[in-house]
Chains A and B, each alone.
Chain A
Amino acid sequence: MKTNHTLEQLAKQSGEWLRGSGPESDIVISSRIRLARNLADFPFIRKCTDHDRAAVERVIREQVVDSAALHDVLYVDVNGLESVDRQFLVERQLISRELAESKGARSVAIDCHEKFSLMTNEEDHLRLQLMKSGLDLAGAWQQISDIDDLIESRVNYAYHEKLGYLTACPTNVGTGMRVSVMLHLPALVMTQQIDKVFRGLQKISLAVRGLYGEGSRATGDFYQISNQITLGRSEEDLMRQVGDVVPVLIEYERQARDFLVRESQRDLHDRVSRAYGILRTAQTISSEETMHLLSSVRMGVNLGLIDDLEIPTINQLFIHTQPAHLQKIRGLELDTEDRNIERALYLKRHLRDRPSRDSDGVN
């Protein structure tokens, strides 16, 4: 079943996972589960002919998307999109860069709350993804597993008795599941403890990846923790493996914040206030600088150093100030220089000129 949602409407709203209201959402941005699945009667993507790819896309469209198995979805023919629109979906985390940049028949079905997306003809025939705000892996698993069952009742998955769900890359075989939690860890970065923390995680086979973007090493201080192993452990075990480490990271980050507040309250307050000031007054600003400053502001709000701003607003600004979003919102193609001006305007509009809750007067 399809709705009348368009990408333009998507650009104006904000995804469910940006709500910033889930458990531990001051530090945990989102929880995501991804499942890799393949149809049994087609070669994997690398050996698909153009015709095979088109046939896979059609099977999914007709059997899954049009069959009302999924409710309220926007079905997007990614192959037919302009590059700015593909980039927009990447920034939104609804499709992967790989899907955006590959060739041939491929698509994505997106539910209207942007919690669920189903990519067709990515590295595997199917990539199901479910995102939740804050820390909620169990909730994400329950929902994605139900959708997986629905799809599986209509198509034949490539499945092996011993090896489980078969995937194009052996790194995903078995459960085909990647569990990821995205965390905002600015204090661990500021206190230079982040590398030490990463090394510890790696010893227990977890992967850490800095969130990229048009960003610096800090890139807004967002880090994604995920499982590396997919075979030989149940989905529950994999979620536990990732889930168990998250409270520890949260605790480390909180301790680092406490340390900063205790040892350098003035410097910290100064840094946060300056970041907020620049974001509200800049005439032109790069995406990298924006991410960097928003990160300080986000921590400042969490620590009560800024009191006229809310977390969902900041979460949204991280996404909406990225290049394709600015262009979609503006409705124009913009080069880097114009984007930097547009970005500054956008920030001003949302941080300074917005209806102030308390009239303490930002100006």
Chain B
Amino acid sequence: MKCQLCEKPAAFHITELTGEEIQELHLCEDHARQYLSQGEAGKSPTAPALVPIVSTPGSVGHTAEELSRLDQQACPICGITFFEFRNIGRLGCPHDYECFANELEPLIVSIHGETKHVGKTPKRATRRTKVETELIRLRRDMKDAVAGEDYEKASEIRDLIRRLQETKTAEADPKASDPATSDPTASDTTASDPPAT
């Protein structure tokens, strides 16, 4: 039997059960790899099914015009546009769940049939989310500054990152002397320094 996508012999025969019906795929080694790596390679059978859902314009009830406008909207933290997400099926940062909340909701409902998490929650409070998100944005700004050879600005941002991380560490845990509870990203600062070029 030949691969469905090329002339090579089909070495992989995958039974996928994600859509309306059972799908049989017969693929050569290369195409099977490609196909399986779209998802989670054997562990996330739903991932490939997402692509058709998110890449069908109109499937979430918008006009083409609205869609193209929404598509250009970018996350202020990581810079991903909704268009980019619709194409790759992966979000850019945790903040996307906030800034694309309206666009994501119908998708989330169609996948899970629910919109609210039930189950385990982290034991530690997650009150510092704003600071964490800000760190993502600052690191990106710093990279842009370095790319634009604006080293003065880059070093200002670097100082800001340091200050934020210090505050984070200070309020993180009362027993900050225990190395195990220190800020996990503290060592990141040095590596974030703008390169000397």
Contact = CB atoms under 8 A, between A and B. Distances in A.
A57 to B, nearest CB: 11
A344 to B, nearest CB: 19
Interface residues of A, number: 91
B42 A62 contact: no
Nearest to B134: A41
Interface of B: 11-18, 21-22, 24, 29, 32-33, 36-37, 39-47, 49-50, 77-80, 88-94, 96-97, 104, 107-108, 111-124, 126, 128-129, 131-133, 135-136, 139-140, 143, 179-181, 184-185, 187-188, 191-192
Contacts of A59: 184-185, 187-188
Given A44-B92, A169-B47, A171-B46, A156 B16 contact: no
A171 B17 contact: no
Contacts of B121: 159, 164
A207 B17 CA distance: 6
A234 B116 CA distance: 11
A199 B108 CA distance: 24
Q: Which of B11, B104, B115, B181 has most chain A Cβ within 10 Å?
A: B11
B90 A45 contact: yes
B14 A209 contact: yes
A40 B126 contact: yes
Contact of B42 (A159, A199, A209): A209
13 contacts: A40-B129, A44-B93, A51-B192, A63-B180, A96-B43, A161-B126, A163-B97, A174-B118, A214-B11, A226-B45, A231-B117, A232-B116, A234-B118
Contact of B107 (A46, A170, A215): A170
5 smallest beta-carbon distances between A and B, as pairs: A232-B114, A164-B117, A97-B41, A207-B45, A40-B132
A210 B15 contact: yes
Given A123-B40, A215-B12, A232-B112, A62 B184 contact: yes
B180 A154 contact: yes
A213 B27 CA distance: 12
Contacts of A58: 187-188, 191
Interface in A234-255: 234-237
Interface string A218-234: 01000110101111111
A269 to B, nearest CB: 27
Given A55-B188, A59-B188, A169-B89, A47 B80 contact: yes
B119 A174 contact: yes
A153 interface: yes
B13 to A, nearest CB: 4
A290 interface: no
Contacts of B97: 160, 163, 166, 173
Interface string A59-87: 10011000101000000000000000000
Contacts, number: 252
B106 to A, nearest CB: 11
A34 B43 contact: yes
A201 interface: yes
Contact of A152 (B96, B122, B132, B143): B122
A153 B180 CA distance: 9
B176 to A, nearest CB: 13
Contacts of A262: none
Nearest to B189: A55
A10 to B, nearest CB: 19
Contacts of A174: 112, 114, 117-119
Nearest to B77: A43
B119 A173 contact: no
Interface string A118-162: 000011000000000000000000000100110011111111111
B132 A156 contact: yes
A43 B78 contact: yes
Nearest to B118: A234
Given A169-B47, A202-B17, A209-B45, A41 B117 contact: no
A109 B60 CA distance: 40
A29 to B, nearest CB: 13
Contacts of A101: 33, 37
A156 B112 contact: no
